[in-house]
Amino acid sequence: MNPAEYPITTTIAQVHNYMDQNIRIQGWLYSKRSSGKIHFLQIRDGSGSIQCVVVRSEVPPEVFAVSEVLSQESAVIVEGLVRRDTRSSLGYELSVQNLIHVSTAPDYPITHKEHGIDFLLDHRHLWIRTPRQRAILKIRAEVLRAMSDYLDGNGFTRVDPPILTPTAAEGTTELFHIQYFDQEAYLTQSGQMYMEAAAMAMGKVYSMGPTFRAERSKTRRHLIEFWMIEPEMAYFTHEDNLKLQESFLSAVVQQVLNHCQPELELLGRDLTRLRAVQPPFPRMSYDDAVVWLQNQGHEIQWGEDFGAPDESELANQFDRPVFIERYPTKVKAFYMQPDPKRPEVALCADLLAPEGYGEIVGGSERIHDYTLMKERFIEHKLPNEDYAWYLDLRKYGSVPHSGFGIGLERTVAWICGLEHVREAAAFPRLLYRLYP
Amino acid sequence: MNPAEYPITTTIAQVHNYMDQNIRIQGWLYSKRSSGKIHFLQIRDGSGSIQCVVVRSEVPPEVFAVSEVLSQESAVIVEGLVRRDTRSSLGYELSVQNLIHVSTAPDYPITHKEHGIDFLLDHRHLWIRTPRQRAILKIRAEVLRAMSDYLDGNGFTRVDPPILTPTAAEGTTELFHIQYFDQEAYLTQSGQMYMEAAAMAMGKVYSMGPTFRAERSKTRRHLIEFWMIEPEMAYFTHEDNLKLQESFLSAVVQQVLNHCQPELELLGRDLTRLRAVQPPFPRMSYDDAVVWLQNQGHEIQWGEDFGAPDESELANQFDRPVFIERYPTKVKAFYMQPDPKRPEVALCADLLAPEGYGEIVGGSERIHDYTLMKERFIEHKLPNEDYAWYLDLRKYGSVPHSGFGIGLERTVAWICGLEHVREAAAFPRLLYRLYP
- What is the complex's ipTM, to 2 decimals? 0.97
- Residue from B273, B262, B155 nearest B204 by CA: B155
Looking at B146-160, B169-183, B217-231, which range is the least confident one? B169-183
Confidence at residue B323, expressed as pLDDT on a 0 to 100 scale: 98
Confidence at residue A168, expressed as pLDDT on a 0 to 100 scale: 59
Chain A nearest-CA distance from B264, in A, is 16
Centroid of chain to Cα A96: 38
Q: Where is pLDDT greater, at B336 or B218?
A: B336
Q: Which residues of chain A are within 8 Å of residue B216 when distances are taken between CB atoms? A: 181
- Angle (CA) B282-B286-B288 rounded to 5° is 75
Q: Give the DSSP per-residue string, B205-226.
A: EEEEEEEE-------TT--SEE
Q: Does A398 reach chain B within 8 Å, measured CB to CB?
A: yes
Confidence at residue B5, expressed as pLDDT on a 0 to 100 scale: 60
Q: Which residues of chain A are within 8 Å of residue B398 when distances are taken between CB atoms? A: 75, 102-103
Instruction: Examine the pLDDT at B342 and tell me if it is beyond 70.
Output: yes
Q: Does B119 reach chain A within 8 Å, measured CB to CB?
A: no
- How far apart are alpha carbons B352 and B313 in whole angstroms? 10
**What kind and span of H or E run contains A308?**
helix A308-315
Contact B144 A158 (CB under 8 A): yes
Contact B201 A133 (CB under 8 A): yes
- How far apart are alpha carbons B408 and B229 in whole angstroms? 7
Confidence at residue B4, expressed as pLDDT on a 0 to 100 scale: 54
Q: Is A380 exposed, middle or buried (0-12, 13-18, 19+ CB in 10 A)?
A: middle
Confidence at residue A5, expressed as pLDDT on a 0 to 100 scale: 60
Whether the CA torsion A233, A238, A241, A245 is positive or negative: it is positive
Q: Does B368 reach chain A within 8 Å, measured CB to CB?
A: yes
Q: Does B281 reach chain A within 8 Å, measured CB to CB?
A: no
CATH number of A3-103: 2.40.50.140
Instruction: Examine the pLDDT at B2 and tell me if it is beyond 70.
Output: no
Tell me which chain A residue has its CA closest to the CA of residue B165. Answer: A434
Q: Does A166 reach chain B within 8 Å, measured CB to CB?
A: yes
Instruction: Examine the pLDDT at A3 and tell me if it is beyond 80.
Output: no
Looking at A36-45, A186-195, B85-94, B258-267, which range is the least confident one? B85-94
- How far apart are alpha carbons A367 and B46 in whole angstroms? 20
Give the pLDDT band (50/70/90) at residue B123.
very high
Instruction: Examine the pLDDT at B254 and tell me if it is beyond 70.
Output: yes
- In chain B, the percentage of residues whose pLDDT exceeds 90 is 91
Give the pLDDT band (50/70/90) at residue B150.
very high
Domain ranges of chain A: 3-103, 122-424
Q: Give the DSSP per-residue string, A177-213.
A: EEEETTEEEEE-S--HHHHHHHHHHHSEEEEEEEEE-
Strands (E), B239-328: 283-285, 322-325
Q: Does A302 reach chain B within 8 Å, measured CB to CB?
A: no
Cβ(B302)–Cβ(B290) below 8 Å: yes
CATH number of A122-424: 3.30.930.10
Instruction: Examine the pLDDT at B236 and tell me if it is beyond 70.
Output: yes
Q: Does A8 reach chain B within 8 Å, measured CB to CB?
A: no
Instruction: Examine the pLDDT at A86 and tell me if it is beyond 90.
Output: no
Give the pLDDT band (50/70/90) at residue A90.
confident
Confidence at residue B1, expressed as pLDDT on a 0 to 100 scale: 38
Confidence at residue B90, expressed as pLDDT on a 0 to 100 scale: 86
- How far apart are alpha carbons B191 and B160 in whole angstroms? 8
Contact B181 A103 (CB under 8 A): no
Tell me which chain A residue has its CA closest to the CA of residue B141. Answer: A158
Contact B180 A176 (CB under 8 A): yes
Q: Across the interface, which of A102, A224, A235 has its CB nearest the CB of B26? A: A235
Digit-coded pLDDT (tens) for A307-343:
999 999 999 999 999 999 999 999 999 999 999 999 9
- Residue from A188, A195, A226, A208 nearest A403 by CA: A195
- Residue from A339, A391, A337 nearest A364 by CA: A337
One-letter amino acid identity for B13? A
Confidence at residue A2, expressed as pLDDT on a 0 to 100 scale: 45
Q: Does B3 reach chain A within 8 Å, measured CB to CB?
A: no
Strand B157-158, strand A157-158: pairing: unpaired
Tell me which chain A residue has its CA closest to the CA of residue B194. Answer: A125
Instruction: Examine the pLDDT at B169 and tell me if it is beyond 70.
Output: no
Confidence at residue A4, expressed as pLDDT on a 0 to 100 scale: 54
- How far apart are alpha carbons B353 and B340 in whole angstroms? 28
Contact B159 A166 (CB under 8 A): no
Per-window interface: B 47-76 vs A, CB < 8 A: 47, 73-75
Contact B396 A182 (CB under 8 A): no
Chain B nearest-CA distance from A168, in A, is 12
Compute the average pLDDT of residues B216-235. Answer: 95
Q: Determine how many CB atoms are found less than 10 A away from the CB of residue A192.
A: 25
Cβ(B58)–Cβ(B95) below 8 Å: yes
Among B73, B391, B427, B429, pick the best mutation site for testing chain A contact (most A Cβ within 10 A): B427
Instruction: Examine the pLDDT at B136 and tell me if it is beyond 90.
Output: yes
Among A10, A25, A100, A125, pick the best mutation site for testing chain B contact (most B Cβ within 10 A): A125
Instruction: Name the pTM for this structure.
Output: 0.97
- How far apart are alpha carbons A174 and B114 in whole angstroms? 42
- How far apart are alpha carbons B326 and B312 in whole angstroms? 18
- How far apart are alpha carbons B148 and A141 in whole angstroms? 11
Q: Which residues of chain B are within 8 Å of residue A372 when distances are taken between CB atoms? A: none
Instruction: Examine the pLDDT at B290 and tell me if it is beyond 60.
Output: yes
Among B160, B192, B229, B382, pick the best mutation site for testing chain A contact (most A Cβ within 10 A): B160
Strand A75-84, strand A92-103: pairing: antiparallel
Compute the average pLDDT of residues B353-372. Answer: 96
Digit-coded pLDDT (tens) for A263-317:
999 999 999 999 999 999 999 999 999 999 999 999 999 999 999 999 999 999 9
Contact B178 A182 (CB under 8 A): no
Q: Does B429 reach chain A within 8 Å, measured CB to CB?
A: yes
Q: Across the interface, which of A105, A204, A210 has its CB nearest the CB of B397? A: A105
Confidence at residue A387, expressed as pLDDT on a 0 to 100 scale: 87
Looking at A109-123, A157-171, A202-216, which range is the least confident one? A157-171
Q: Determine how many CB atoms are found less than 10 A away from the CB of residue B135.
A: 19
Q: Does A204 reach chain B within 8 Å, measured CB to CB?
A: yes
- Residue from B268, B243, B241, B264 nearest B253 by CA: B264
Instruction: Examine the pLDDT at B168 and tell me if it is beyond 80.
Output: no
Chain B nearest-CA distance from A36, in A, is 25
Chain A nearest-CA distance from B362, in A, is 23
Q: φ and ψ at B368, to 5 degrees?
A: -115, -5
Mean pLDDT of chain A: 95
H-type alpha helices, B267-327 = 271-275, 286-295, 308-315
Q: Which residues of chain B are within 8 Å of residue A435 when distances are taken between CB atoms? A: 166, 386, 389
Digit-coded pLDDT (tens) for B395-427:
999 999 999 999 999 999 999 999 999 999 999
Contact B145 A152 (CB under 8 A): yes
Confidence at residue A380, expressed as pLDDT on a 0 to 100 scale: 87
Confidence at residue A1, expressed as pLDDT on a 0 to 100 scale: 38
Q: Which residues of chain B are within 8 Å of residue A203 when distances are taken between CB atoms? A: 11, 27, 45-47
A-B interface: how many C-beta pairs under 8 angstroms?
276
Q: Does B26 reach chain A within 8 Å, measured CB to CB?
A: yes
Q: Across the interface, which of A203, A390, A435 has its CB nearest the CB of B46? A: A203
Q: Does A137 reach chain B within 8 Å, measured CB to CB?
A: yes
Q: φ and ψ at A95, to 5 degrees?
A: -90, 110
Mean pLDDT of chain B: 95
Q: Across the interface, which of B11, B102, B204 has its CB nearest the CB of A203? A: B11
Confidence at residue A190, expressed as pLDDT on a 0 to 100 scale: 95
Q: Give the DSSP per-residue string, B56-83.
A: GGGS-HHHHHHHHH--TT-EEEEEEEEE
